[in-house]
Amino acid sequence: MRSEILIVDDEPAIRRLLTGALDRAGLTHTEAATAGEALRAAQAMPAPLVALLDLGLPDRDGLEVIGQLSGLGLSVIVLTARDATDEKVAALDLGADDFVTKPFDSEELLARVRSALRRKNSPSLDPARRDFAGGWIDRDSHVVMIASERVDLTPREFNLLWTLADKPGRVITHDRLLEQVWGPAHREDLDYLRVAVRSLRRKLEQDPSHPRLVINEPGVGYRIAARE
């Protein structure tokens, strides 16, 4: 049977916890304690779909493994410490799909895993339309719908929302957003992004000062909440 999830962690206790949570959610899994084992498992056929990767591995730096795992077609979710923003950004830049901070809440972890699986298994049928929590965006018709109401966005806001919604639930780094929406010359202009996000929130969020749709990961980037 095909295992859907690859657990890569050198701590047996953490592995057991993760397997327990995944079992209860009815997800199949394979375990690896080292980078070597992880790569072997990823190369085996059929390969798992999602990897839960701890970066502190005994044989290799976890960051090095991200590229190889995602190269083999796995979505990588990194397990990391809360304040390790550099690590998070590096992991995302190297192709990681998402991250979960330790100590993790198993509900949140499962939500992330499911979201990753969904992105993997059911790519949007319509290449121009993306769904997110409470609404959708259509690139071709330039339509944004929130709670069945059409919202008018400036071209820049629309671009920003599209970049975020293209991978719903996935964190897009600040750099990446600035590069995609404003162009490579504006990578450092974080204030542009902040201001644009604010105006976007005013149009999309129920309460812009308690955002639930456009969510910031401090020091890392933004994600748009995925449709459950």
Interface characters, 19-58, with another protein (x: CB under 8 A):
-xx-------------------------------------
Sort residue 100 into left (φ over 0), alpha (ψ -120 to 50) or beta.
beta
For residues 73 and 165, give the distance between their C-alpha atoms in angstroms, rounded to a whole number: 21
Among 26, 46, 58, 103, binds another protein (CB under 8 A): 103
14 binds another protein (CB under 8 A): yes
Residue number with CB closer to another protein (120 or 182): 182
Stretch that binds another protein, among 81-89, 90-98, 127-135, 165-173 (CB under 8 A): 81-89
Q: How far is the CB of 113 from another protein (least distance, A)?
A: 14
Residues paired with 98 in a beta bridge: 77
For residues 216 and 201, give the distance between their C-alpha atoms in angstroms, rounded to a whole number: 12
For residues 145 and 204, give the distance between their C-alpha atoms in angstroms, rounded to a whole number: 9
Name residues contacting another protein, limited to 140-159 (CB under 8 A): 154, 156-157
Among 60, 176, 187, 198, binds another protein (CB under 8 A): 198
183 binds another protein (CB under 8 A): no
C-alpha to C-alpha distances, 133 to 46, 167, 168, 224, 226, nearest whole angstrom: 32, 12, 9, 8, 5
Which residue carries 């202009």 as its tokens? 189
78 binds another protein (CB under 8 A): no
Residue number with CB closer to another protein (31 or 42): 31
Stretch that binds another protein, among 39-47, 70-78, 137-145, 196-204 (CB under 8 A): 196-204
217 binds another protein (CB under 8 A): yes
Q: 138: how many CB neighbours lie within 10 A of its CB?
A: 14
> Element (H or E) spanning 138, and its range?
strand 135-138
For residues 115 and 218, give the distance between their C-alpha atoms in angstroms, rounded to a whole number: 21
Half-sphere exposure of 71 (CA within 13 A, CB side): 8
Interface contacts to another protein, rule CB under 8 A: 11, 13-14, 16-17, 20-21, 82-83, 85, 102-106, 154, 156-157, 190-192, 194-199, 201, 208-211, 215-219
